[in-house]
Amino acid sequence: MAQLRSLATVSGFTAISRVLGFLRDMLIARFIGANLITDAFFTAFRFPNMFRRIFGEGAFNAAFVPLFAKKLENDGKKEAVHFGSNTFSMLALVLGVGTIIAIPCMGWIMSLVAPGFKAKFDSGWVDPGPSAIVAEESVSLSGTRSVYLVYDVRGEKVPELAFSKAELVKKSGKRSALTEFYEDKREPSRLTLTETGTVSFLLPKQHDFETLELEAKFGEAAGEEQGKLQVYRNHPNTFPLTVTLARITFVYLLCMALGAHLSGVLNTVRIFGMPAAAPIMLNAIFIIGLVVFVPWLGYPGHVLAWCVFVAGFVQLGALWWACRRAGYGIRLLKPKMTPEMKRLFLLMGPGILSAGIQQINLLIGGIIATHQTNAVSYLYYSERIYQLPLGMVGIAFGVVLLPEITRALRANKHDDANDSLNRGLEYSLLITVPAAIALIVIAMPIIAGVFQWGSNFTKWETLATAPALSAFAIGLPGYVLVKVLQPGYFAREDTKTPMYIAGVTVLTNIIFSLILFSMLKSKGMGHVGIALATSIAAWVNVALLAIGLRRRGYLKVDQRLKDRLWRIGVASVIMGALLMLLYQSLETSFLAAGGFMRLVYLTVLIVVGLGSYAATALTLGATSRAELRQGFRRG
């Protein structure tokens, strides 16, 4: 296969980045854990990432790469570089203005992105008096472990705030006093707030309380001051911290969208190394921040946010230098609306909607997750694991296939374009099917071995995160197949069809996310429902993309792919069964082991899984050493 060597370049650098990413996430889990800081940072970081994928890696490059390749082939290098500089400058102008507008408005934006971090009840400012009712409220407790009462006053005097009722109610109707669950055991048994500040309550890990019922009013000696009561299910500092960190990280959007443009230039001329290596810089800067600056300065959330800020400019500079060294020096100039630019915008329109719909998919999952304590962090840690094969294979195939298919079509070699798609499907399934089965079978030891170090990420966090990893893994082959199939449309300058398909996909994800989150939230596992909904939506996306390609005659499944599918499936099932038996024999020792020994046991499981799958796949003929060697030589 001609693109195997290019794929190996992208996958190799991506593997290094993912390994460093694992180290980064292990350090985050060790030093911070899963709490308000990680919830705030992961939410803040996801937001610029979302728009980066919409305007940068997603819609922009899907439209830009075919046009740049066409310009290079028809008009030569000089005109292609000028076209690249013009589009680079237009992208910088649009996103620069957007960044300047977004940063001061971040509080309003985060109110939409992370509504679960805000107060579940806010009395507003109340004039005091003997009959001033501050709260008569019922607050849902589904999916939360913590309750925070925040009492604030205006003025010098502190009106007493007394509660005639503060009870936790189960579905059965049984009630418990909120005061039984003071987080600070030194608190009195009676709930009366006479000072400004926050009082917190910690519920049992697997409680069945459904609501908190409150009745409160100011005391008679309140005077003329005003007071306000707020009830939170997350720490009250989570939302303001999220806003602060989002303002710092948002500049990453500008840097990475411009970096994605430069990567598109390099990938078109078959330079894959630097674009694939750029994420390594981000992870390296993260690790330096966690090891050096967090112990020195404290404020881990702020340190992580500034690491993102710095890394954005470092990556952009490295990609710009790589373009210049390759003879494709992209520069800033006054952007002009040329016919090529108009064509780019015409193609980008559906692409923005398509990529935007897909990112709304993720955004909605994140919004729903903010309504369960620490769900954002559990989803992040599980995503980091399944992103390894997705990044190494899915993103790599997407990067390599688009210019490969584009060149084949420009040369009127339609059979070669179809062969590239078939081999992309074959090799992606060869890797992702066994990876998905392994992640499902040994999700628990993977999460424990990678993240359960120290006191901040405990067995409880492992038990909450592992099921989400299994749910994500169900869709792993689907996520990768989407990346393989989309170039079949983009190379033909068709961005509308993927847009319509993405619309159906996001609707599917929303429906299943809401249903599954509601079903599992009361058990503290609503985040698993979000992960499972994402997997269902991925397979719907694959089915619609494949049907569209086949109906248009763009994809004809060849006999080799048909013969290999069942062999890949059998080899993967055999590997999964062996892994399950091995883990069951090691489970007692694994659970009793310390962090280092858990990592050793996990390494044994991975080595056995890889070895058994490789041997079985070669024996059954799912692939062969000769084909792999030939593919790399041809690349």
Q: Give the residue carrying structure tokens 């409220």.
A: 137
pLDDT, one tens digit per residue, over 153-169 is 877 776 777 788 888 88
Dist CA 149 CA 197 (whole Å):
8
The CB density around residue 225, as the number of other CB atoms within 10 Å, is: 16
CB-based burial, 1-28: b 16+ in 10 Å, e otherwise: bbbbebbbbbbbbbbebbebbbbbbbbb
Q: Which domains does the chain have, with CATH numbers?
A: 36-118+245-336 (no CATH), 120-232 (2.60.120), 356-635 (no CATH)
327: left (phi > 0), else alpha (psi -120 to 50), else beta?
left
pLDDT, one tens digit per residue, over 50-63 is 766 665 555 666 67
Dist CA 308 CA 288 (whole Å):
12
* Burial label, 364 (beta-carbon count in 10 A; 0-12, 13-18, 19+): middle
The tally of CA atoms less than 13 A away on the side-chain side of residue 125 is 6
Q: Give the orientation angle of helix 459-474 with respect to helix 443-451, to 10 degrees.
A: 130
The proportion of the chain whose per-residue pLDDT surpasses 70, expressed as a percent, equals: 83
| pLDDT recorded at residue 194 | 63
Query: Torsion angle, CA of 425/435/379/467, rounded to 10 degrees?
Result: 130
536/297: higher pLDDT = 536
Dist CA 368 CA 535 (whole Å):
16
Among 97-106, 503-512, 583-592, name the one with the lowest average pLDDT. Answer: 583-592
Dist CA 403 CA 393 (whole Å):
16
Distance from chain centroid for Cα 477: 17
| pLDDT recorded at residue 2 | 46
DSSP H or E segment with residue 360: helix 339-369
Q: Are strands 197-202 and 146-154 parallel, antiparallel or unpaired?
A: antiparallel
What single-letter amino acid sits at 563? Answer: D
Among 31-45, 343-357, 358-372, 561-575, name the one with the lowest average pLDDT. Answer: 343-357
Q: How confident is the model at residue 10 (pLDDT cuts 50, 70, 90)?
A: low
Residues 6+ apart with CB under 8 A from 103: 247, 250
Query: Torsion angle, CA of 259/260/266/267, rounded to 10 degrees?
Result: 160
Give me the mean pLDDT over the 241-248 stretch. 94
pLDDT, one tens digit per residue, over 291-321 is 888 888 888 899 999 999 999 999 999 999 9
Q: What is the DSSP string of 462-511?
A: HHHHHHHHHHHHHTHHHHHHHHHHTHHHHTTT--HHHHHHHHHHHHHHHH
Distance from chain centroid for Cα 89: 29
Token duo for residue 528: 């698993």
The tally of CA atoms less than 13 A away on the side-chain side of residue 29 is 28
Q: Is the pLDDT of residue 635 over 50?
A: no
Inter-CA distances, 121 with 187, 198, 487, Å: 23, 14, 48
Radius of gyration of the chain (CA): 27
| pLDDT recorded at residue 1 | 46
pLDDT, one tens digit per residue, over 356-379 is 555 666 677 778 887 777 788 888
| pLDDT recorded at residue 552 | 82
Give me the mean pLDDT over the 345-349 stretch. 74
pLDDT, one tens digit per residue, over 126-140 is 777 666 777 788 888
Q: Is the pLDDT of residue 445 over 80?
A: yes
The proportion of the chain whose per-residue pLDDT surpasses 90, expressed as a percent, equals: 17
Q: Is the pLDDT of residue 104 over 90?
A: yes
Dist CA 312 CA 285 (whole Å):
10
Please provide the average confidence, as pLDDT, over all residues in the chain: 81
Give me the mean pLDDT over the 423-448 stretch. 88
Q: How confident is the model at residue 411 (pLDDT cuts 50, 70, 90)?
A: low
| pLDDT recorded at residue 440 | 94
Token duo for residue 114: 């992370």
Q: How confident is the model at residue 434 (pLDDT cuts 50, 70, 90)?
A: very high
| pLDDT recorded at residue 634 | 45
Distance from chain centroid for Cα 196: 38
pLDDT, one tens digit per residue, over 467-479 is 999 999 999 898 8
| pLDDT recorded at residue 201 | 86
Dist CA 145 CA 436 (whole Å):
31
Q: How confident is the model at residue 508 (pLDDT cuts 50, 70, 90)?
A: very high
What DSSP state is assigned to residue 114? -
Dist CA 301 CA 531 (whole Å):
25
Among 113-122, 382-391, 520-529, 543-552, name the one with the lowest average pLDDT. Answer: 382-391
DSSP H or E segment with residue 135: strand 133-140
Token duo for residue 466: 């592992």
pLDDT, one tens digit per residue, over 274-299 is 777 788 888 899 999 998 888 888 88
Q: Which of 229-233, 372-376, 491-495 has the highest mean pLDDT?
A: 229-233
Provide φ and ψ at 388, rounded to 5°. Answer: -60, -60
Q: How confident is the model at residue 629 (pLDDT cuts 50, 70, 90)?
A: low
| pLDDT recorded at residue 117 | 85
